[in-house]
Amino acid sequence: MTTAATAYAELEDRFRRYLVLGQAQGVLHWDMSTMMPRGGAEARAEQLAVLKTTRHALLAAPETGDLVAAAGEAELDGWRRANLAEMERRWRHATALDEDLVEALSRAETACEMAWREARPAGDFAAVVADLKVLVALVRETAAAKADALGLAPYDALLDAYEPGGRQAEIDPLFDDLEAFLPQFLGRVVEHQARRPAPVPPPGPFPIAGQRALARHLMAALGFDFDHGRLDQSRHPFCGGVPDDVRITIRYDEDDFTPGLMAVLHETGHALYERSLPPAWRHQPVGQARSMSIHESQSLLIEMQVCRSRPFLAFAAPLIGGALGGAGEAWDGDNLYRLLTRVEPGLIRVDADEVTYPAHVIVRYGIEKAIIGGTMEAAEIPAAWNEGMDRLLGITPPGDGDGCLQDIHWYDGAWGYFPTYTLGAIAAAQIFAAARQADATITAAIAKGDFKPLLAWLGQAIHAQGSLLSVPELLTQATGRALDADLFKTHLKDRYLA
């Protein structure tokens, strides 16, 4: 007879296997993005499909549900109780889908991503739209199945997999508020900048070898452990791999070093979070990152809050100039600060400044909701994208390469999580403010290149918590309040109108 305690123990073993298989899947994705020859696409599609269906079968098996029900009677401590809740949430998501749909979706994701890799540099949306239509149909089927099983709207059912508990009803008013605030604020910032000396662009070109060396130096200074991670190149920057083997990728531009530098610092924020998740729960759901918004808060805290600040650039300016062979006014900390906080509407999300970045996300969020809701088809995405960029930022992409093809996410099947980028930006401002309030030495330490006080606070307040708490509970415990956009607005005003 299976006791409640035995059922819980069996669940821990089952989820350990499920998560380890997921780690293998993650490394295969990294390889596909960085090193795999195009001729390996068919074999990789097969590998990923088998891994995904194997994981799904393990999680969706009837006995998993029986174990979840039985374990509910066990006497568990706080961590194990939270772990069981996460197990049940993941099980409910899995049982909403049959194995054939999981396999079809996996194959469509790989096919569409490989088509995107050719279409993006060519700016040729027509080259990917057929694969995207197939993928969108399967994503809608997934959303509908999960909606029925979870009692949620289709978009919320997708969002819940990335942002547990996240709902459109909470996001829409928040984004409506930002959409009303940002255009007028952007105008004030542009006027304010016009009254001050423009930054001097450091003269290029900037050899990739120098940029790579600089990236590695600053990653190490921030605390990235190269014994447990590596830096590579890909078409789209990302952080992947597993907590004990974190893989960061970046793309370089020999005419402008700043996008690559900021991207690698952003991804380092993701990596530091992954590496600091609770080791004792490494292979259990409660030991995983809490949500995409919290993950993004950690990357944006490092990139935007820390690495675009005056204290950081006072430390980093000599390193940047030394690595790239620069000297003089263009390379001093004050000029680099003005350069890296320059506000100007641009086409590329990952290169956008803090003020205009939310507009990029709001455009994508609107398209995602329309696609999942069936009021827009895949072929209509370029026109909707261009209209949104013109409406919110007053600019229109000259081609789809700088428009709707710029992000990999939709083409590799990640639908329903774009709002978490701006939720993360809001949380980043809130968390960094709380960190500095808790430890007054943090700012001065950053100016000396010492990130230990900040990382110690983050490690205890955010990283070590894993998925023990809900997002509102985590933010309230760490900062004294749930997500608050007013703190983000205050940060923008303090930085860009001072």
DSSP letters for 88-131: HHHHHHHHTS-HHHHHHHHHHHHHHHHHHHHHHHHT-THHHHHH
**Predicted pLDDT of residue 289:** 97
Q: In this predicted model, what pLDDT tens digit does every residue of 141-184 receive, in sequence order?
A: 999 999 999 999 999 999 999 999 999 999 999 999 999 999 99
Please give the angle made by the CA atoms of 488, 491 and 495, to the nearest 5 degrees. 145
How many Cβ atoms are within 10 Å of 230's Cβ, its own excluded? 16
- Tokens at 270, concatenated: 């993701």
**Cβ 219 vs Cβ 204: under 8 Å:** no
Torsion angle, CA of 223/229/234/237, rounded to 10 degrees?
Answer: -40
User: At residue 157, what is the residue type?
Assistant: A
**Predicted pLDDT of residue 68:** 96
User: At residue 58, what is the residue type?
Assistant: L
Q: How would CATH label the architecture of 170-224+257-496?
A: Orthogonal Bundle (1.10)
**Cβ 360 vs Cβ 349: under 8 Å:** yes
At 1, is the pLDDT very low, low, confident or very high (cuts 50, 70, 90)? Answer: low
3-state SS class at 233: strand
What are the structural domain ranges in the chain? 4-162, 170-224+257-496
Report the first-to-last Cα separation within the chain, whole angstroms: 68
Which class for 398: exposed (0-12), middle (13-18), buried (19 or more C-beta within 10 A)?
A: exposed
Angstrom distance (rounded) from CA 84 to CA 90: 10
Angstrom distance (rounded) from CA 299 to CA 266: 5
Average of per-residue pLDDT across 333-344: 96
The DSSP code sequence of 271-333 is: HHHHHHS-GGGTTSGGGS-S-HHHHHHHHHIIIIIITTSHHHHHHHHHHHHHHHT--SGGGSH
Average of per-residue pLDDT across 342-366: 95
Q: In this predicted model, what pLDDT tens digit does every residue of 123-134 receive, in sequence order?
A: 999 999 999 999
b/e map 279-299, b = 16+ CB within 10 Å: eebbbbbbbbbbbbbbbbbbb
Q: In this predicted model, what pLDDT tens digit does every residue of 284-328 receive, in sequence order?
A: 999 999 999 999 999 999 999 999 999 999 999 999 999 999 889
- Tokens at 448, concatenated: 């000396």
pLDDT at 401 exceeding the cut of 80: yes
| Element containing residue 250 per DSSP (H, E) | strand 245-250
Mean pLDDT of the chain: 96
**Predicted pLDDT of residue 33:** 87
Angstrom distance (rounded) from CA 224 to CA 312: 16
- In Å, how far from its chain's centre is CA 44? 24
Q: What is the pTM of this model?
A: 0.94
3-state SS class at 239: strand
**Cβ 408 vs Cβ 116: under 8 Å:** yes
- Catalytic hit among 12, 109, 113, 267: 267
pLDDT at 488 exceeding the cut of 70: yes
Let me know if 267 is a catalytic residue. yes
**Cβ 367 vs Cβ 381: under 8 Å:** yes
Average of per-residue pLDDT across 32-49: 92
Q: In this predicted model, what pLDDT tens digit does every residue of 228-240 receive, in sequence order?
A: 999 999 887 899 9
Average of per-residue pLDDT across 184-193: 95
Average of per-residue pLDDT across 441-448: 98
Angstrom distance (rounded) from CA 413 to CA 408: 9
Lowest mean pLDDT among 367-371, 462-466, 482-486: 482-486
